[in-house]
């Protein structure tokens, strides 16, 4: 959220500085040229901040996408005489269409295979540009016409300066809007929160592809501008060297900060200019010595300022004005699921079985959860509680048996489909996005209750829906008693509060069934009491809850019905009083203790 605040405040100031910059007396023309290069690099680097900094996908290949944009307009405007402005949509289309299959291949890769993959296609495309006859091979294409407006051609660096920086500002605003939206939350969940996002119905593979194509389009736009600024293109600026520089800009600027991308582009471009003049004099010859310095710089930044330099600067700025508070009331509310009368069949586990190799973790277990009741699933450590939970939540697939919810067999469904059926979960090992606020974390839970896509988010046409989603999140936060912490970063919460946050996030889905895996683990006694009070309030509101718990005492006072597992097998089932007196249960627990 912080990045959005600073971007909104920076925009007018930056626009003003940019408007007067070329006219300040005594500003050398070369500075304007440098500013243009910074602008072109900023476009690529803004895309990379989303792709790498926010989405966690490292790409060394962005320069190739600049090549798509540059070569498309070069060919169209020289060979076919198409006006440069008309080539822009074609450039974006070509870049997007080519980025799509590359993205589909690339985002599937994980770990270090992903950056290696980008290096591979980055290199391949560079050589391809140099081999194709209709792209002029390594000589490239020259005599590209300049951009023009109202019959006035932009031959000078001063003219195109405004075009470039207008696009940079637009791109920064678009990127900021995208991040500050429903789609943006699933993008920001890509690093470290994929399981959460999927459990609440967000398609994270699609979110990855979205940022990949968004970043590619910004690079393609940069290439288009570059072609009409230089009015000649050849393969050299679209190779791996530049790809590494772009990545350095994004990393230096700051992993998750849109304006950091512009800052990083400025810093690296200016540094390169200085180094290219100094280093050959120091070392003699004409090698690309700056590449060595950049490599060292990248290592240093990653080592000592992994968030980039931008946060080090913004930390010194005065705090942004208090944000308009999102309240639980005021905005129109989202439609709610129709509550069914208590006591009806809701979810049934039917002879569910899960084997891990020879180990049968869940051995033909059957039980049911009815509307408006809390069912406890208990048993000693290793009894198969979490595995059963994972079968219901779609995190693990059944070896045999069935799980039926609302009359529909869930079969081998993914967590996303489980969420769509109205089942929400919390995680035994708390999973929240630490750099998002409590409100944003909970709003992720309401993902399926909105529909705004990328275009609506970028154009800010999602505001009415977004207000409703945030109001819903705020309502759930108030409901669980975390209202005071609504705008705090989730990383500042204690474990007990995080578990409650997870309950609020699950409630934001408006679930018919709430799955809780050991929600009381690690809580202090008072926190356990508060949680128990909350859960019984939820039941009073008509919620059905499946409570997986190790702590028998916690479950006894709260549940309507208890299922006991031991070594994967159901050994008892009944009302709490019956379970307490059940010989097999006493044996399992005392036997375990002894
Ligand atoms: P509980 O939650 O009741 O403590 P679990 O469901 O986590 O128990 O585990 C049940 C059994 O299944 C344990 O013996 C555990 O070691 C085993 N198990 C759980 N998950 C896996 C897995 N992914 N691969 C192999 N064995 C597993
Ligand atoms: Mg467990």
Q: Tell me the pLDDT tens digit for each residue of 40-69.
A: 999 999 999 999 989 989 899 999 999 999
* pLDDT confidence band for 217 (50 / 70 / 90): very high
Q: Is 36 helix (H, G, I), strand (E, B) or coil?
A: helix
How many angstroms is it from 501 CA to the middle of ligand 2? 20
Residue nearest (by alpha carbon) to ligand 1 atom 20: 387
CB atoms within 10 A of CB 7: 21
pLDDT, residue 26, reads: 81
pTM of the model as a whole: 0.91
pLDDT at 266 over 80: yes
Which ligand sits closest to the CA of 387?
A: 1
Rounded to an integer, the average pLDDT of 137-150 is 89
Give, using CA atoms, the residue closest to atom 15 of ligand 1.
382
Task: Give the confidence band of 329 by pLDDT, cuts at 50, 70, 90.
Answer: low
Q: Which atom of ligand 1 is nearest to the CA of 565?
A: 3
- Of 43, 139, 130, 138, the residue nearest 91 (C-alpha): 43
530: Cβ–Cβ under 8 A, 6 or more apart, which residues?
481, 500
Nearest one of 273, 301, 294, 265 to 46, comparing CA atoms: 265
Please give the Cα distance from 12 to 258 (Å, whole number).
15
Distance 424 CA to ligand 1 centre (A): 21
pLDDT at 594 over 60: no
Q: Which ligand sits nearest to residue 356's alpha carbon?
A: 1
Distance between CA atoms of 35 and 470, rounded to whole angstroms?
39
Site to probe by mutation for ligand 1, drawn from 352, 357, 361 as the one with most ligand atoms within 8 Å of Cβ, is 361
Lowest mean per-residue pLDDT among 71-85, 117-131, 321-335, 566-580 = 321-335
**Which part of the chain has CATH 3.40.50.300?**
344-422+511-594
**Where are the alpha helices (H) located in 413-494, listed in sequence order?**
415-420, 438-445, 454-458, 463-480
Q: What is the pLDDT of residue 148?
A: 86
Span of 47-61, 323-337, 359-373 with lowest mean pLDDT: 323-337
Nearest alpha carbon, ligand 1 atom 10: 384
In the CATH scheme, what is the code of domain 344-422+511-594? Answer: 3.40.50.300
Q: What ligand is nearest to the CA atom of residue 354?
A: 1
Q: Rounded mean pLDDT of 377-402?
A: 93
Distance 515 CA to ligand 1 centre (A): 18
Q: Measure 397 CA to ligand 1 centroid, in angstroms.
A: 14
Give percent of the chain with pLDDT exceeding 70: 94
Residue with the smallest CA separation from ligand 1 atom 18 is 361
Least confident of 317-326, 418-427, 497-506: 317-326
- The yes-or-no verdict on residue 475 having pLDDT over 90 is yes
Closest ligand 1 atom, residue 387 Cα: 6
Residue nearest to atom 23 of ligand 1 (CA): 356
Q: How far is the CA of 350 from the centre of ligand 1 (A)?
A: 19
For range 66-81, the mean pLDDT: 94
Residue nearest to atom 16 of ligand 1 (CA): 382
* Residue 546 CA, ligand 1 centroid: distance in Å: 18
Residue 393 clears pLDDT 90, i.e. is over it:
yes
Is the confidence at residue 554, as pLDDT, over 60?
Answer: yes
- Using 50, 70 and 90 to split pLDDT, how confident is the model at 318? low
Instruction: Indicate the length of the chain as a whole number.
Output: 594
Rounded distance from Cα 534 to ligand 1 centre (Å): 29
Distance (Å) from CA 587 to ligand 2 centroid: 20
Percentage of residues of the chain with pLDDT beyond 90:
64
Nearest CA to ligand 1 atom 1: 382
Distance from C-alpha of 202 to C-alpha of 188, rounded to nearest angstrom = 12
Question: Given a cut of 50, is residue 1 above it in pLDDT?
Answer: no
**Pocket of ligand 1, beta carbon within 6 A:** 356, 359, 361, 379, 381-387
Q: Which whole number is the average pLDDT over 373-388?
A: 93
Q: Closest ligand to 382 CA?
A: 1
Other C-beta atoms within 10 Å of 317: how many?
A: 10
Q: Which atom of ligand 1 is least distant from the CA of 428?
A: 2
User: Residue 381 CA: which ligand is closest?
Assistant: 1
Q: Which atom of ligand 1 is nearest to the CA of 518?
A: 2
Q: What is the mean pLDDT of residues 449-453?
A: 94
The predicted pLDDT at position 102 comes to 93
* Range 7-275+286-314: architecture per CATH: Orthogonal Bundle (1.10)
Atom of ligand 1 nearest to the CA of 390: 6
pLDDT above 50: residue 234 = yes
- Map tokens 């209202």 to a residue: 483
Q: What is the mean pLDDT of the chain?
A: 89
pLDDT of residue 327: 52
Task: Compute φ and ψ for 240, nearest 5 degrees.
Answer: -70, -35
């Amino acid at each position: 959220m912080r990045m959005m605040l600073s971007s909104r405040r920076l925009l007018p100031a930056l626009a003003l500085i940019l408007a007067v910059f070329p006219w300040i007396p005594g500003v050398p023309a070369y500075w304007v040229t440098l500013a243009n290069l910074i602008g072109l690099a900023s476009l690529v680097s803004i895309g990379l901040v989303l792709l790498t900094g926010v989405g966690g996908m490292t790409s060394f290949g962005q320069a190739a996408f600049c090549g798509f944009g540059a070569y498309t307009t070069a060919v169209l405007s020289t060979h076919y005489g198409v006006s440069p402005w008309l080539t822009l949509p074609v450039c974006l289309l070509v870049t997007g269409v080519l980025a799509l299959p590359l993205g589909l291949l690339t985002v599937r890769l994980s770990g270090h295979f992903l950056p290696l993959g980008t290096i591979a296609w980055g290199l391949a495309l560079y050589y391809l540009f140099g081999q194709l006859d209709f792209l002029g091979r390594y000589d490239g294409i020259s005599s590209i016409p300049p951009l023009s407006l109202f019959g006035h051609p932009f031959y000078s660096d001063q003219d195109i300066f405004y075009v470039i920086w207008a696009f940079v500002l637009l791109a920064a605003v678009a990127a900021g809007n995208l991040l500050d939206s429903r789609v943006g939350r699933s993008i920001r969940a890509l690093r470290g929160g994929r399981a959460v996002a999927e459990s609440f119905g967000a398609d994270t593979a699609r979110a990855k592809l979205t940022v990949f194509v968004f970043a590619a389009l910004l690079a393609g736009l940069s290439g288009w501008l570059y072609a009409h600024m230089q009015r000649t293109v050849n393969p050299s600026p679209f190779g791996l060297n530049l790809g590494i520089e772009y990545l350095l800009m994004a990393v230096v600027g700051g992993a998750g900060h849109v304006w950091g991308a512009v800052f990083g582009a400025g810093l690296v471009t200016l540094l390169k200019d200085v180094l290219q003049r100094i280093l050959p004099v120091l070392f003699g010859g004409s090698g690309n010595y700056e590449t060595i310095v950049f490599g060292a710089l990248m290592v240093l930044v990653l080592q000592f300022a992994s968030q980039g330099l931008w946060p080090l600067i913004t930390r010194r700025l005065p705090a942004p004005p208090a944000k308009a508070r999102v309240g639980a009331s005021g905005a129109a509310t989202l439609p709610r699921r129709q509550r069914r009368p208590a006591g009806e069949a809701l979810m049934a586990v039917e002879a569910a079985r899960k084997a891990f190799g020879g180990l049968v973790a869940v051995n033909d277990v059957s039980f049911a959860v009815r509307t408006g009741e809390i069912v406890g699933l208990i048993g000693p450590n290793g009894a198969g509680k979490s595995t059963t939970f994972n079968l219901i939540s779609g995190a693990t697939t059944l070896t045999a048996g069935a799980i039926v919810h609302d009359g529909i067999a869930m079969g081998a469904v993914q967590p996303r489909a489980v969420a769509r059926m109205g089942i929400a979960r919390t995680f035994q090992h708390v999973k929240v996005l630490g750099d998002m606020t409590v409100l944003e974390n909970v709003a992720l839970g309401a993902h399926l209750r909105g529909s705004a896509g990328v275009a609506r988010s970028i154009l800010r046409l999602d505001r009415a829906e977004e207000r409703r989603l945030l109001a819903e999140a705020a309502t759930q936060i108030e409901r669980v008693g975390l209202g005071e912490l609504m705008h705090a970063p989730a990383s500042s919460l204690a474990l007990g509060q995080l578990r409650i946050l997870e309950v609020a996030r699950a409630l934001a889905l408006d679930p018919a069934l709430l799955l809780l895996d050991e929600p009381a683990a690690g809580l202090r006694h008072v926190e356990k009491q508060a949680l128990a009070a909350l859960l019984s309030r939820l039941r009073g509101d008509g919620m059905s809850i499946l409570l997986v718990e190790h702590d028998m005492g916690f479950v006894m006072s709260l549940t309507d019905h208890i299922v006991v597992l031991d070594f994967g097998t159901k050994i008892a089932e009944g009302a709490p009083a019956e379970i307490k007196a059940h010989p097999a249960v006493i044996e399992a627990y005392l036997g375990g203790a002894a």
